[in-house]
A and B are shown apart, each in its own frame.
Chain A
Amino acid sequence: MSKLTFARAINAGLRKALENDPKVVLMGEDIGSLGGVFRVTDGLQKDFGKHRVVDTPLAESAIIGTAVGLAYRGYRPVCEIQFDGFIYPAFDQIVSQVAKMHYRTQGRVKMPITIRVPFGGGIGSPEHHSESPEAYFTHTSGLRVISVSNPQDAYTMIQQAIASDDPVLYFEPKRRYHDKGEVDETADLLTALPMEKARVVTTGSDVTLVTYGPLVKTAGDAAMAAADEGISVEVIDLRSLAPIDFPVVEASVRKTGRLVITHEAAQSGGLGAEIAASITERCFNYLESAPVRITGFDIPYPYSKLEMHHLPDLDRILDGVDRALGRGNSLSGLEG
């Protein structure tokens, strides 16, 4: 076991993948001598060479589009999109090509492409540097979408993503890059929890609180604060956003009877809506109150002086928990 930051843990996972499989190739802007703007690829070009860790021209559509060609030829490209907001120039290649190739060719052509995306807010950045675009991709069949929440998962799940024969969008919560945690670098990928599985982080009996990525920590803190008030919150880290491991959420909701979902992305058309609807379909009779969503607002990601109002924090989550429990909350007395 070693104590690693989130960023180092991903770095260690990438290193392992490069060592284990000569077909793994890293591509992206500034990932070479600079080691990426977040230093996630630090030292990898030095150790594996410019052909395995490729500084690409500044062209996102080309980064993903050429990865498609590399995958055709048996490579396993790992593409870095520098920031969430810069994935859109590559959107067409991702949703029209990467996602559909396996289906289109009836399984003959595999797209084992991993797309790493630092995402989410909370670091005081300018425009286009704090977005949560995951729902665009969960809406597209053929893509796997995962988001990691701690260094150990970051380490194992990047390797699972690279090993997957399906294309994987790997969302890294950038505001957690410097958080440290224990990482077992000898962890066996075969026995580790598969990346498509959700995990119960904290068990509880009153409310199920579902989240992923950057908010797992916040949700855990909220559960602790709730415990002080005698409320028992079960926190679930989805880990996989497409497909979602509904059985784990379902089992929890059957136990607690109440569901709160929290994410940074805007509410309308977001994952919270999908989870609320699916759980309502699956366990309507077990629900004691309507599912509650605590999310970013339906606005463009705001300038940094206001981002703390946009991002769900501990208090807003607790307010949502109160709502699910029918306790006094900021919306008490309002209908609908």
Chain B
Amino acid sequence: MLTDEVGQDAYKAPNPGISAENPRRTGGNLVQLISPEGERISHPEFDLWVSDVTDEQLCSLYEDMTVIRRIDAEATALQRQGELALWPPLLGQEASQIGSGRALRDDDFVFPSYRDNGVAYCRGVEATDLVRAWRGNASSGWDPYRHNIATQQIIIGSQSLHATGYAMGIQHDGADSVAVAYFGDGATSEGDVNEAMVFAASFQVPVVFICQNNHWAISEPVRIQSHIQIADRASGFGIPSMRVDGNDVLAVLAVTRIALDRARKGGGPTFIEAVTYRMGPHTTADDPTRYRDANELEDWAAKDPIARLQTLLRNKGLLTEEVEAKTQAKADEVARELRAGVINMPDPAPLDLFNHVYSTPNSWIERQKDHYSRYLESFSGSTQEGAL
């Protein structure tokens, strides 16, 4: 079974000979630069791709991961308190999202799924905007063109086609930016994801597919989606792939940079499987105890992405009180901002219903809007009467 395999070979050293020109599949071995025990594992080729990461930047990756974990916890709490209708937690996937999100250039364009709040955070989306749609106040929280990240996608896998199309546009324009699609392991079963890979390979467009294999698609383990390692699927489409320890922020940063660099140089699409684990429920409406063994969670908690980086920083003498205090202060501040943003978010007005269905006036909708506003007015009239 795939899940078992992942557990067994999760921490073997990566294959040698992998570069931007030749990011051939990693043969089932995970790219890893930080061990679960927090030791830096050096690798002659992958190290090159993170050799510029300063101590300060390492601390800032730690801060990012801590902040998004905090956003996630705060949003979960807000949901429990009835302030949000629903929330899809990313607990455990911080390294996958920050490692890849921080590798991107501003002019790259991201097509995320509903769970990729950490990636959105990297793109500069405000905490409050992350929850607008989950509160039910809006269809989406942000302007895609302002942050170069599309709104979150709920239809599984759809966004992989959008990313591929965007990349076709980049190619036509002769630009060197990259489109990036994020999706889960379950998504790789959908036709859309497979069709996206066909197009991406056929046209050799600058797109990077980042599959966060968090081992579960709601209640279904990854073995129901794939009989082979997810990364191996890509080779059937003629797309090179890499399999990375998704709980290792440095390794994720390295492989994402390799894939982006390849795309920028006209090398075409790359598929990244970030092997990670969803430690929480699928969404706040889900009950994982119905389908998931508690031991499995315990095993993965031992591979926690934040604890791992924390140990590395501590061992390097970088986790000073000052750094911890600064990190916590930032997390507190963002959490406060999120909470205040949610509590003070104004309710939408009833007639907002009819806005933006089309870009120009539409007689059907105008008529319905007019009728509905008369209907609403008929109530305000009667209340007044009642008050007299």
A56-B136 Cα distance, complex, nearest whole Å: 30
Interface set, chain A 69-108, CB cutoff 8 A to B: 85-86, 88-89
Give the residues in chain A near B217, CB-CB below 8 Å. 29, 58
In the assembled complex, the CB of A55 is this many whole angstroms from the nearest CB of chain B, namely 6
Q: Does A167 contact B (CB under 8 A)?
A: no
A32-B219, A305-B137, A331-B371 are contacts. A128–B155 as well, Cβ < 8 Å? yes
Binding stretch for chain A, among B183-191, B247-255, B326-334: B183-191
Question: Bound state CA distance, A85 and B365, in angstroms?
Answer: 22
Q: Is the CB of A305 within 8 A of B357?
A: no
A300 to B357, CA, bound (A): 7
- Residues from chain A with a CB closer than 8 A to the CB of B374 are 330-331, 334
Q: Which of A34, A124, A300, A302 contacts B219 (CB 8 A)?
A: A34
A303 and B133 form a contact (CB under 8 A): yes
Which of B93-101, B171-179, B315-323, B346-354 contacts its partner? B346-354
Closest to B351 in A: A309
Given contacts A29-B220, A303-B133, A306-B353, contact A298 B365 (CB under 8 A): yes
Q: Complex: how many Å from CA A89 to CA B192?
A: 9
B372 touches A267 (CB 8 A): no
Cβ of A58 and Cβ of B348 under 8 Å apart?
A: no
Q: A30 with B219: in contact, given A299-B353, A331-B374 (CB under 8 Å)?
A: yes
Given A128-B155, A303-B133, check contact A309 B86 (CB 8 Å): no
Which residue of B has the minimal Cβ distance to A309?
Answer: B350
Also in contact, A303 and B139, with CB within 8 A (given A57-B225, A58-B156, A298-B364): yes
Contact B365 A330 (CB under 8 A): no
Asked if B375 and A303 make an inter-chain contact with CB atoms under 8 angstroms apart, the answer reads no
- Given A33-B290, A126-B134, the answer on whether A62 and B219 have CB atoms closer than 8 Å is no
Could you tell me the distance in whole angstroms from the C-beta of A34 to the nearest C-beta in chain B? 4
Is A8 positioned at the interface, with any CB of B under 8 Å from its CB? no
Q: Which of B192, B290, B378 contacts A330 (CB 8 A)?
A: B378
Q: State the CA gap A334–B187 with chains docked (Å).
A: 51
User: Are B189 and A57 touching (Cβ within 8 A)?
Assistant: yes
Contact between A126 and B154, CB atoms less than 8 A apart: yes
Shortest CB distance A227–B (Å) = 20
Task: Check B77 for interface membership: any CB of A closer than 8 A.
Answer: no
Contacts of A29 in B (CB 8 A): 217-218, 220
| Residue A61 lies at the interface, judged by CB distance under 8 Å to chain B | yes
Q: List 29 A-B contacts (CB under 8 A).
A: A30-B220, A37-B218, A37-B285, A57-B189, A57-B225, A62-B191, A86-B155, A86-B156, A124-B136, A125-B86, A126-B85, A127-B133, A127-B154, A267-B364, A267-B368, A297-B372, A298-B357, A298-B364, A300-B357, A302-B139, A303-B133, A303-B136, A303-B348, A304-B85, A305-B348, A316-B375, A329-B378, A330-B374, A331-B371
A90 and B371 CA atoms in complex are apart in Å by 36
Whole-angstrom distance between the alpha carbons of A37 and B220 in the complex?
A: 12
Q: Distance (Å) between the CB of A295 and the closest chain B CB?
A: 9
- List residues of chain B with CB within 8 A of the CB of A299: 353-354, 357, 365
Whether, in the assembled complex, B215 has its beta carbon less than 8 Å from a beta carbon of chain A, the answer is: no
Apart from the given pairs A58-B189, A127-B139, A128-B154, 14 other A-B contacts in the complex at a CB distance below 8 Å: A29-B218, A30-B218, A33-B291, A34-B291, A59-B189, A85-B154, A126-B133, A297-B353, A298-B364, A300-B139, A302-B139, A303-B348, A310-B353, A330-B374
Q: Mark B350-388, 1 if CB is under 8 A from A, else 0.
A: 101110010000101100100110110110000000000
Q: Which residues in A have some Cβ–Cβ distance to B below 8 Å?
A: 29-30, 32-35, 37, 55-62, 85-86, 88-89, 124-129, 267-268, 297-300, 302-306, 309-310, 316, 319, 329-331, 334
B325 in contact (CB, < 8 A): no
Interface string of B153-179 (1 = CB under 8 A from A): 011100000000000000000000000
* A33 contact set on B, CB distance < 8 A: 219, 290-291
Report the minimum CB–CB distance from B48 to chain A (whole Å): 37
State the Cβ distance, B43 to closest chain A Cβ, in Å.
34
Q: Which residues of A contact B378 (CB under 8 A)?
A: 319, 329-330
B228 within 8 A of A: no
B135 in the interface (beta carbon within 8 A):
yes
> Is there a chain A Cβ closer than 8 Å to B224's Cβ?
yes
How far apart are B189's CB and chain A's nearest CB, in angstroms? 4
A-B interface contact total, Cβ < 8 Å: 122
Is B297 among interface residues, defined by CB-CB distance under 8 A?
no
Question: Chain A binding site: helix, strand, loop or mixed by DSSP?
Answer: loop
Q: Which of A34, A316, A334 contacts B290 (CB 8 A)?
A: A34
Q: Judge whether B138 is part of the interface by a CB distance below 8 angstroms.
A: yes
User: B154: which A residues are within 8 A, CB to CB?
Assistant: 85, 126-129
B286-319: contact bitstring with A at CB < 8 Å (1 yes, 0 no)? 0000110000000000000000000000000000
Chain A residues closer than 8 Å to B86, beta-carbon distance:
125-126
Min CB gap A131→B, angstroms: 12
With both chains docked as a complex, state the minimum distance between the C-beta of A263 and any C-beta of chain B, in angstroms. 15
Please, how many angstroms separate the alpha-carbon atoms of A60 and B189 in the complex?
Answer: 9
The docked-state distance in angstroms from the alpha carbon of A302 to that of B353 is 7
- Does B220 contact A55, Cβ atoms closer than 8 Å? yes
B187: chain A residues at CB < 8 Å are 58
Least CB distance from B333 to A in Å reads 27
Q: Which residues of B contact A61 (CB under 8 A)?
A: 191
Chain A residue with the shortest CB-CB distance to B135: A305
Contacts known (A58-B187, A59-B190); A306 close to B220, Cβ less than 8 A: no
Residues on A with C-beta less than 8 A from B348 are: 303, 305-306
Among B352, B368, B377, which residue has its beta carbon within 8 angstroms of that of A306?
B352
Q: Is the CB of B190 within 8 A of A89?
A: yes
B192 touches A62 (CB 8 A): no
| CB of B288 to closest CB in A, whole Å | 9
Chain A residue contacts of B375, Cβ below 8 A: 316, 319, 330-331
Bound-state CA distance A228–B85 (Å) is 36
Give Cα A32 to B354, complex, Å. Answer: 40
Q: How far is the CB of B20 from chain A (nearest CB, A)?
A: 32
- Nearest B residue to A34, CB-CB: B219
How distant is the Cα of A31 from the Cα of B362 in the complex, in angstroms? 42
Give CA–CA (A256, B291) in the complex, Å: 54
Q: How far is the CB of B350 from chain A (nearest CB, A)?
A: 5
